[in-house]
Structure 1
Amino acid sequence: MNIDNNQFEILQKMAKTIHKPVYLYNQHGRILYTSHTMITSPEWIHLLPFFRSRTNHSFSMIQVKQTFSVFPIDLNEQTCDYLVIPSFIPPQNKALHATIAKAVNEISIARMRQYAALQTTKRARNEGFRRWIERSSSSQQDAPRLAQAFGLNVESSYLCIICQLDQLIDAAFFKKQQMVLDQVIDLLDSAIASSPFPAFLFVKGDTGVVLMEETGSWSEMSDRLISFLKQLQILVKIHVNHTISFGVSLTGYPIPHLSEGYSEALEALQAGHLSSRTEYIQFYQAKDVSDLLKLIPKKDVITFHQLHLHPLSEPSQADQSLLHTLSVYLETHCHISETAKRLSIHRNTVIYRLEKCEELLRISLKDPDATLRLRLAFRIQRFLS
């Protein structure tokens, strides 16, 4: 949640009034404002989470010989931002404390309103996503329109990544469990901005769902994706003192078919859970030829299909009996009599048609490699349709 213009002006005015650098950062260490634009990632920012408190406080770092004054800005009962001034504010300086307190109060009111409005928007967005992914409110034709409303690129494909807390707290402590989940989601929401690929976070039940845009081949994306997910696991362990696991879809899916990617990611997450592991990253395991075909670029799949079956599909071969006979012949494990029985034709007719297929395809149906390629080509035909 970035600051708006009004908050920016309040912070800028305070920095000028007190003649000291001013920083605003969220509870996860993300800088929201700095009066010193040349300093965007000071080293001390990584230590601040260990000094968090809901009351005004200060601490010193021997390495940099610097004292920091910290002023929490409450957003709700478990979330707050922090105003940080890299200087010691003497308690006896009443005027300075009053100036800072006034600015903190103004920022706090503005941030709470902004946070409440943002949470309302997120709840509506997450509900819309839930209904969409469950296909309870939209058809595939509606998907591009809804995707645009969520900020997704309708021309892109998206990997689906589902994350969940590893050890859910006992149901009797539902409120505490929900608070932990909210902290994790808030942390992921803050960290998603540093994703190596365009990513969008949604919440569905007790899981977080990340849609990550597929910007290249799996070999190009895999290392950076895994590294990013591991970083998220480390962040959650440090900031929330819990572990999370991820289930990832087999491949990216276009907008109208994202529900398939969601199902794969959910199955992967459950597979990891059944193995009694924690803090895992589980990818969906291909179980069928169609799953493996999804990993191959579509143009290559089409080329393979055309290469091996096109001579039987040309306009000059308008009679589809050759193609159908060959398909049934392969399905019956190359049994001529069974093929004739299924097609209700004479055995000699089957033999004639198969010889014609061999002539057109320039192969021998006695060659096991040739029949394997034909079986795969027919499987691709069903996959493409």
Structure 2
Amino acid sequence: MKSTLNVSLLNTTTQFEQVATIVAQRVAHLLCAEVFVVDQHACVIASSNPKLVKLYFNHIYQQNSLNYIRFPLSFNTQIGEVIISKPHNGEVISPRLVQEVVELVINQTTVIDTLLNQHQLKDKFIYDLLHNLIDEETTVARYSKLLGIDLNPPRAVILINAADYILISNISHQYKQENIENLIQQRANLVIGSIVSFFQLPNDTICAYLGDGEVVVLKASDTKNLGNWANRGDVPEQCSSSWANLTALKRAARALLMRLQDDTGTSINIGIGRYHPGIRGLAQSYQDARAALSLGSRFRGHNQVHCLDGLGIAAFIGIGDERTKIELATYLLSPLDHEPELIATLDAFFAEDCCPSTTANRLSIHRNTLSYRLDKINLLTGFNPRRFDDAVQMRLALLLRKLSNSR
């Protein structure tokens, strides 16, 4: 699949016309004069007073009037000219001052336009990256460098659903349709700003607005970058690398959730993805976060942090990818990897329909011994085999792990 990323998000000519319009309006306001802009073919593309375009056009190009000052305008590959009349208030302004004002406005306008386009490019690039729409790592490396996105540290996806705040559905009727998109982008930027401040990031390059009220963070997920949330001894040593520091990530996300709730005053949901190695691993992490957020919001409620390992039975029935389910099962049972006796006890307990007496007979042990083993399983895994939901989850995990081992 080829990338859909287009560096020229907006047509160059359209960009030039937008810049010309802003320049004409701002210069006219600052100098109290009539201003219009022509392109390289002497066609008027912007004016501070459209009603007078024809009059000024005739004066300049037919009579070559000296009452107008001209300055060149260039943007990207387009060139044109800014033409300014004498001020309405009769003030005499030196051509040098006029030139400085025009140059200042042009520079401000083009810089702002470039920054806006860069933000659009960044959002589009991250969207394509997370949706596997870029299939060449060299392309990813080139664009990430151009956009200032450092993909070298191991990163996991934090997906934030702030639709209740960003999409402003409750107040959108108060605004004209053309202003709604700007308001949505402003609120998305406020959410991103809150995230940048919370994580004390140098900039917002690893945050993007994906649309539909969702903001994504490509969070550095190694112990060093997780700072205060890591190194607390709660990550099992035997877990695979894709689950490493997941507990610290969830702790950080819960703190972030509280910050976003305070800053927005609305309901927020967060999905956490595991770390997966390589550039393409970000798309896998996004799928984890996407599934966790979707299933968690439906089954666990709102204003929570959702992750695959905390979804319970919903994870095994709601995730379509078999590999992910097997990896989840392996992770949930990993505390028992060096406890074959406990695994055998679980198998027997489920085979006997969770009946303690028949399970004890099957294993030729005393019921107190069985009770001790079940308590130890609960202590190691966090799941109580005596509880229905926990028992079903552990049963499914055992079956999936056996399925994996039989291949």
Give the TM bin, normalised by the shorter chain. 0.3 to 0.5
TM-score computed with the length of structure 2 as normaliser: 0.43
